[in-house]
């Protein structure tokens, strides 16, 4: 491998090789997406092909629980690592791990989510496949010893390829990476991400054919008279997104309190999930079949097929209440699936809730004749864009993804209206997306602001100077002068026998006595030392480090571990030099 890397560096530039790697990332991500969906479809077909559409099915109470249990066993005994919250995990890798994802992430999420969703878990496959694609990019980059900046780009390529491959939507893959993962848009990053997206899309067409994920046919052109309704739908989608995020967070906190008790989590998840899927079979799996019903139905009879397999079958008057209840309960089904031990994402649930929200909005509007007639199928499409834009804080992704996966390009203007309105509504209440808010609370979220992004990307360990000269508090001035002559810093730490920091000697403050040899045996270090103006913890973020330097105006600050032992010093000069270099690197095209 070393010979290959050496030959590559001699004959192929880093930029050229990055483009080649982006092609490989797109190819492997397309394969992973195909395998994942094939496994899900085969499991679902095996389990549900004999179901009678005219009545309810008791197995809806059992299958999802079996899937969650099998997934939890797989994760606990084979993977032996946390693999939930795929997109949040990518953001964390970019923000704190210098874009390094573990090797098992290339396959573990595919298997775990396939089991969960195939057995009916009410989650999506998109977040796991995005984690898989990003892990493929990260590990290919590590294999060929690429630098951290290239690793981050390859992680973005993997995410873009995963979205592009799973939805056959290359532009959406690119926009998703820029908006959600917040990879800077430069010419150096644009071309590799595009290559990965297009490659994944082309190979997905080869593997699965040209049919889109969702079928949609626009029956009538969009009239400008619907603008008020579009604005209201966007606002409604923003509040639905807020409900989704807040409820999901609350449910996660409930499951989070149950630590190291997997069977109790499974029981709690089963008690929530099984009854919901039994009553509302639309919650079974990803729910894309139900979305297609809402997008393609033209008559009451066609829309009422969404009631199949449920206790409400044959009761046409229950269609609107059914839609409303599914809209409200999807978030609980998703939380119960993941909280109980399953593996899946919130990407598909946001599309699902959006379609139901848009249909519900248009149906209520038409029933009460609030204004001009609204085509329910069109508003189901628009609702998908609105809720996705709100939940993910990504209006462009909502616009382009829905347009690409449905072929609804003639709906571009209303898609823009509802996405923008939903986004402007949600940011009043939630400054971060559902993926980013966990990291934002810890100060670990990378952003498009280069100064904050650089602080996030900088590693505390990389700026610590550990080659310090420590002195004992009982040392006399003569010995201290000898220690000063061997030190390359202006500050000498004073440590006890256990390595705890007692104080420090600032050489600049000893000029009045350091050359007076007659005082060498009259003073000891403990009489001359002073307390540092501030100390840093090994767990501090670089933003905290910067703030402490600004507050104290110190040239050097000590870094302590969790047991108060000195690890080293951070120099203001060295830190700002590295900071300026990283800003310059991020700004390069």
CATH code where residue 385 lies: 1.10.3080.10
Q: At what angle do helices 86-96 and 148-167 cross, to 10 degrees?
A: 160
**Residue 579 lies inside a defined structural domain of this protein:** yes
**Residue 119 lies inside a defined structural domain of this protein:** yes
- For residues 130 and 47, membership in a common domain is answered with yes
| Antiparallel, parallel or unpaired: β 491-495 and 501-506 | antiparallel
The Cα 244–Cα 247 span in angstroms is 5
- For residues 507 and 369, membership in a common domain is answered with no
| Antiparallel, parallel or unpaired: β 556-560 and 536-537 | parallel
Q: By residue range, what is the domain housing residue 275?
A: 224-442
**Residue 215 lies inside a defined structural domain of this protein:** no
The Cα 427–Cα 166 span in angstroms is 28
Residues recorded for the chain: 589
- For residues 364 and 460, membership in a common domain is answered with no
Residue partners of 463: CB distance under 8 A and separation at least 6: 570, 571, 574, 575, 578
- For residues 202 and 232, membership in a common domain is answered with no
Residue 448's pLDDT is: 47
The Cα 226–Cα 417 span in angstroms is 11
The Cα 544–Cα 551 span in angstroms is 10
Q: Domain tally for the chain? A: 3
Residue 98's pLDDT is: 60
Strands (E), 7-101: none
The Cα 265–Cα 267 span in angstroms is 5
Pair 417, 227: CB distance under 8 Å = yes
Q: What does DSSP assign to residue 85?
A: S
- For residues 423 and 524, membership in a common domain is answered with no
The full DSSP string for 466-501 is -----B-TT-BHHHHHHHHHH-SSSEEEEE-TT-BE
**Residue 217 lies inside a defined structural domain of this protein:** no
Residue 425's pLDDT is: 96
Residue partners of 187: CB distance under 8 A and separation at least 6: 589
- For residues 115 and 29, membership in a common domain is answered with yes
The per-type count for the chain, helices as H runs and strands as E runs, is 25, 6
Q: At what angle do helices 148-167 and 170-179 cross, to 10 degrees?
A: 140
Q: Which of 175, 208, 241 is the last residue of a domain?
A: 208
Answer left, alpha or beta for residue 506, where phi above 0 means left and psi between -120 and 50 means alpha: beta
The Cα 558–Cα 529 span in angstroms is 14
The model's pTM: 0.77
- For residues 422 and 458, membership in a common domain is answered with no
Q: Which of 387, 422, 442 is the last residue of a domain?
A: 442
Match 């209206």 to its residue by tokens: 417
Strands (E), 52-101: none
The helix (run of H) or strand (run of E) holding residue 397 is helix 395-406
- For residues 133 and 186, membership in a common domain is answered with yes
- For residues 191 and 234, membership in a common domain is answered with no
CATH code where residue 464 lies: 3.10.580.10
Does residue 516 sit in helix, strand or coil?
coil
Q: Pick from 558, 465, 457, 543: which is nearest to 506 by CA?
A: 558
**Residue 42 lies inside a defined structural domain of this protein:** yes
Match 């379609």 to its residue by tokens: 355
Q: Which of 442, 464, 487 is the last residue of a domain?
A: 442
Per-residue pLDDT of the chain (589 residues; tens, 9 = 90+): 677 878 777 878 888 899 999 999 999 999 999 999 999 999 988 888 777 666 667 788 899 999 999 999 999 889 888 777 667 777 767 665 566 788 888 899 999 999 999 999 999 888 889 899 999 999 999 888 888 778 888 998 999 999 998 888 899 898 888 887 766 656 677 899 999 999 999 999 999 988 877 778 777 778 889 999 999 999 999 999 999 999 998 998 899 888 778 899 999 999 999 999 999 999 998 888 899 999 888 888 888 889 887 888 878 888 999 999 999 999 999 999 999 989 988 888 999 999 999 999 999 999 988 989 999 999 999 999 999 999 999 999 999 988 887 766 778 899 999 999 999 999 999 888 887 776 665 555 554 445 555 666 666 777 888 888 888 888 887 888 778 877 777 788 888 888 888 888 888 777 677 667 767 777 888 888 888 888 888 888 777 888 888 888 788 888 888 888 888 888 888 887 877 776 666 555 4
- For residues 395 and 461, membership in a common domain is answered with no
Pair 398, 386: CB distance under 8 Å = yes
- For residues 260 and 112, membership in a common domain is answered with no
Pair 236, 361: CB distance under 8 Å = yes
**Residue 295 lies inside a defined structural domain of this protein:** yes
**Residue 218 lies inside a defined structural domain of this protein:** no
- For residues 527 and 506, membership in a common domain is answered with yes
Residue 457's pLDDT is: 60
Structure tokens at 575: 């830190």
**Residue 7 lies inside a defined structural domain of this protein:** yes
The Cα 377–Cα 78 span in angstroms is 44
Q: Name the CA dihedral angle for 136, 141, 147, 150, rounded to a multiple of 10 degrees.
A: -60
């Amino acid at each position: 491998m070393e010979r290959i890397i050496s030959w590559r560096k001699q004959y192929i530039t880093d930029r050229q090789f990055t483009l080649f790697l982006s092609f490989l990332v797109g190819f492997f991500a397309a394969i992973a997406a195909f395998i994942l969906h094939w496994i899900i479809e085969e499991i679902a077909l095996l389990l549900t092909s004999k179901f009678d559409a005219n009545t309810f099915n008791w197995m809806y109470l059992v299958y999802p629980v079996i899937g969650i249990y099998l997934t939890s066993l797989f994760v606990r005994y084979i993977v032996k690592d946390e693999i939930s919250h795929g997109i949040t995990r990518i953001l964390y890798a970019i923000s704190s791990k210098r874009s390094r994802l573990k090797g098992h992430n290339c396959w573990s999420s595919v298997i775990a989510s396939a089991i969960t969703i195939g057995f009916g878990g009410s989650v999506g496959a998109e977040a796991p496949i995005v984690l898989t694609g990003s892990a493929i990019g990260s590990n290919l980059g590590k294999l060929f010893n690429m630098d951290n900046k290239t690793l981050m780009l390859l992680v973005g390529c993997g995410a873009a390829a995963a979205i592009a491959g799973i939805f056959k939507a290359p532009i959406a893959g690119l926009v998703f990476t820029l908006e959600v993962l917040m990879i800077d848009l430069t010419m150096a990053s644009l071309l590799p991400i595009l290559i990965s997206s297009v490659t994944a899309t082309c190979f997905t067409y080869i593997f699965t054919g040209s049919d889109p994920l969702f079928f949609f046919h626009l029956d009538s052109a969009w009239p400008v008279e619907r603008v008020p309704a579009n604005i209201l739908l966007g606002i409604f989608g923003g509040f639905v997104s807020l409900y989704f995020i807040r409820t999901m967070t609350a449910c996660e906190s409930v499951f989070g309190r149950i630590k190291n008790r997997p069977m109790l989590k499974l029981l709690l998840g089963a008690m929530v999930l099984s009854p919901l899927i039994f009553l509302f079979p639309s919650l079974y799996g990803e729910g894309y079949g139900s979305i297609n019903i809402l997008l393609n139905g033209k008559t009451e009879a066609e829309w009422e097929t969404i009631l199949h397999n449920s206790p409400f079958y044959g009761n046409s008057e229950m269609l609107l209440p059914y839609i409303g209840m599914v809209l409200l309960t999807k978030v609980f089904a998703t939380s119960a699936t993941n909280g109980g031990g399953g593996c899946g994402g919130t990407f598909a649930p946001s599309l699902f809730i959006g379609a139901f929200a848009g249909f519900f909005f248009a149906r209520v509007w038409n029933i009460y004749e609030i204004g001009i007639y609204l085509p329910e199928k069109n508003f189901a499409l628009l609702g998908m864009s609105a809720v996705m834009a709100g939940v993910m804080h990504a209006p462009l992704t909502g616009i382009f993804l829905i347009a690409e996966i449905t072929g609804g390009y003639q709906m571009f203007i209303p898609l823009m209206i509802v996405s923008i309105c939903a986004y402007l509504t949600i940011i009043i209440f939630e400054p971060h997306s559902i993926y980013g808010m966990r990291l934002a609370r810890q100060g670990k979220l990378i952003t498009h602001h280069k100064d904050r992004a650089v602080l996030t990307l900088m590693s505390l360990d990389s700026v610590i100077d550990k080659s310090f000269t420590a002195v004992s508090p009982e040392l006399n001035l003569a010995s201290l002068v000898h220690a000063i002559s061997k030190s390359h810093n202006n500050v000498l730490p004073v440590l006890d026998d256990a390595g705890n920091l007692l104080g420090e000697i600032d050489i600049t403050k000893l000029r009045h006595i350091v050359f007076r040899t007659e005082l060498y045996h009259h003073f000891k270090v403990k009489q001359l030392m002073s307390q540092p103006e501030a100390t840093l913890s090994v767990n501090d973020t670089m933003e905290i480090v910067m703030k402490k330097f600004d507050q104290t105006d110190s040239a050097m600050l000590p870094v302590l571990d969790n047991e108060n032992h000195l690890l080293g010093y951070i120099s203001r000069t060295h830190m700002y030099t590295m900071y300026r270099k990283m800003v310059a690197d991020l700004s390069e095209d």
